[in-house]
């Protein structure tokens, strides 16, 4: 039986994070997207635990059971990445493979660049490195402000209707009804003030772009993107081109949109576990034969895959709660 705990960990300024901690073995840190929670990636987390990994899945600030500071600056991607680095140290869970979807992917990339010693590999799903062009970033900041204002003015339900109607999520209409219902219920349960502050402080309009730092990306990185998500595909290719040779691989999932892990869970699961395993093997080789490890890491590929497998079944667990402090 897999043991699961929901921890509440306080940062140095008292901000509290809700963190799901389950399983044993090398750590996989899973970071959800905007309007999600740590439970959003449960299917992938179960697959990781079956493969012998410990999984840590926090609710990002402003989401789920984590604190929702009213100051947008506290939601900044840099500050959240710093908190996550402290969480990995507090839980003695480093180095970790970090998997992030959309917003969570931007946090994951920041963590990998700011704390490379804590990150063994990275998987980004439908994500990017931020908006490099200042004018485009300013336009996005205005859009983010409009969205945040609509949450405060109209409430979460009206915002979710507007959010789900965006072209970015059009492909979700093809998801199984049970998946769509679960995703909508998770969105509707969010705190409006928390979502608004997150949008203002951690949205792409506010985030410092990371394109100028990608040349220092140290962790092997897999960039998973649905073929219908053309903007994310362009972002993924830009990251792969800017990263050191062979450091980043783009994997295109046929027939999938922004949430490739929901549209083609089997393909994404297999790709994530394969990437984590290969990164671990390369790291082990590096300790004994650095030249061979360098040669292995210098090969990057871009592939397309059609998934037919569904999500893995649930694993048994018991739930407990623990509390702690991160510094």
82-130 tens-digit pLDDT:
999 999 999 999 999 999 999 999 999 999 999 999 999 999 999 999 9
The answer on pLDDT for 301 being more than 60 is no
Q: Which fold has domain 2-129+209-325?
A: Rossmann fold (3.40.50)
Non-local CB neighbours of 11 within 8 Å, separated by 6+ positions: 17, 83, 86, 326
pLDDT, position 235:
97
Provide, rounded to the nearest whole percent, the portion of the chain with pLDDT above 90.
81
10 Å CB burial of residue 153 (0-12, 13-18, 19+) is exposed
Question: Average model confidence (pLDDT) for the chain?
Answer: 89
Digit-coded pLDDT (tens) for 188-222: 999 999 999 999 999 999 999 999 999 999 999 99
102 phi, psi to nearest 5 deg: 55, -115
pLDDT, position 289:
65
- State if pTM tops 0.85: yes
Q: Which of 124, 86, 147 is nearest to 249 (CA)?
A: 124
pLDDT, position 2:
57
Provide, rounded to the nearest whole percent, the portion of the chain with pLDDT above 70.
86
Regarding predicted confidence, which is higher, 1 or 69? 69
Beta-bridge mates of residue 123: 99, 222
Q: In this structure, how many other beta carbons lie within 10 angstroms of the beta carbon of residue 157?
A: 12
pLDDT grade, residue 291 (50/70/90)? low
Regarding predicted confidence, which is higher, 285 or 130? 130
Digit-coded pLDDT (tens) for 223-241: 999 999 999 999 999 999 9
Task: Please give the angle made by the CA atoms of 70, 75 and 80, to the nearest 5 degrees.
Answer: 140
pLDDT grade, residue 258 (50/70/90)? very high
Average pLDDT of 123-147? 97
pLDDT, position 292:
53
The answer on pLDDT for 311 being more than 90 is no
pLDDT, position 322:
41
Digit-coded pLDDT (tens) for 14-54: 999 999 999 999 999 999 999 999 999 999 999 999 999 99
Average pLDDT of 294-318? 40
Rg (CA), the chain: 18
Q: Locate 25 and state its tokens.
A: 């073995």
Non-local CB neighbours of 92 within 8 Å, separated by 6+ positions: none
The answer on pLDDT for 179 being more than 50 is yes
The answer on pLDDT for 316 being more than 70 is no
The answer on pLDDT for 298 being more than 50 is no
Query: Please, where are the H alpha helices in the chain?
Result: 42-50, 77-90, 103-114, 134-154, 156-164, 177-188, 192-202, 230-242, 260-263, 265-288, 290-297
Candidate from 61-75, 188-202, 304-318 with smallest mean pLDDT: 304-318
Average pLDDT of 167-194? 94
From CA 80, how far away is CA 164, in angstroms rounded? 26
From CA 88, how far away is CA 320, in angstroms rounded? 19
């Amino acid at each position: 039986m897999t043991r699961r705990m929901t921890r509440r960990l306080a940062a140095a300024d008292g901000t509290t994070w809700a963190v799901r901690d389950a399983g044993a073995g090398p750590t996989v840190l899973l970071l959800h997207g905007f309007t999600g929670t740590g439970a959003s990636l449960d299917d992938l987390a179960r697959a990781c635990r079956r493969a012998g990994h410990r999984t840590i899945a926090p609710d990002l600030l402003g989401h789920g059971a984590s604190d929702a500071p009213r100051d947008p600056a506290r939601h900044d991607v840099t500050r959240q990445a710093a908190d996550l680095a402290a969480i990995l140290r507090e839980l003695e869970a480093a180095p970790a493979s970090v998997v992030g979807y959309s917003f969570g992917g931007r946090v994951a990339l920041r963590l990998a660049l700011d704390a490379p010693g804590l990150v063994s590999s990275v998987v980004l799903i439908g994500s990017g490195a931020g908006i490099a062009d200042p004018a485009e970033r300013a336009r996005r900041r205005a859009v983010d402000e409009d969205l945040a204002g609509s949450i405060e003015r109209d409430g979460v339900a009206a915002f979710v209707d507007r959010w789900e109607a965006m072209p970015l999520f059009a492909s979700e209409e093809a998801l199984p009804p049970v998946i769509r219902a679960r995703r909508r219920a998770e969105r509707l349960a969010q705190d409006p003030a928390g979502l608004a502050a997150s949008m203002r402080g951690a949205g792409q309009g506010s985030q410092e772009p990371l394109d100028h730092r990608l040349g220092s990306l140290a962790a092997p990185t897999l960039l998973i993107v649905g073929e219908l998500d053309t903007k994310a595909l362009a972002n993924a290719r830009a990251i792969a081109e800017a990263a050191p040779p062979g450091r980043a691989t783009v994997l295109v999932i046929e027939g999938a949109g922004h949430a490739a892990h929901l549209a083609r869970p089997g393909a994404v699961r297999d790709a994530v576990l394969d990437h984590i395993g290969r990164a671990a093997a390369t790291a082990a080789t590096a300790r004994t034969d650095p030249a061979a490890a360098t040669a292995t890491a210098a090969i990057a590929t871009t592939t397309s895959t059609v998934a037919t497998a569904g999500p893995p079944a649930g694993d048994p667990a018991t739930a407990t709660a623990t509390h702690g402090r991160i510094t």
